[in-house]
Amino acid sequence: MRNDRDFAQAPSAFPQTQWSLVERAGQQANPQEQRRALEALLKRYLPALRAHLIEVRRIPSDRADDLLQGFIADKVIEQNLLERAQKERGRLRNFVVVTRRQ
């Protein structure tokens, strides 16, 4: 069984953070560009986030899908989570994990 540390260190677990995409997904000045960037970012990250919930947290797949959908709707879209992401503070996955717990 893998633990959180093993999962976080696996090179293929999460894609490398593409900060220009994160910045575009967090901007509100151009809603169309923001939406396209958010779609691209979610396409890159959702498989890894889902796998983390299922494999590491041992959450059933249907529940993992519900949690992800709620997180995206509540934190990412409504609270514009990505607007607060900062490259200087480290990886996007760490920011997401910390934010999820708040």
Residue type, 71: F
- Are 28 and 80 within 8 A, CB to CB? yes
Instruction: State how many domains the chain has.
Output: 1
Q: Which residue did the predictor score with more confidence, 10 or 28?
A: 28
Is residue 97 pLDDT above 80, yes or no? no
Q: For the chain, percent helix, then strand, then coil, each to nearest 5?
A: 75, 0, 25
Is residue 61 pLDDT above 90, yes or no? yes
Structural domain that includes position 29: 4-100
pTM of the predicted model over 0.85? no
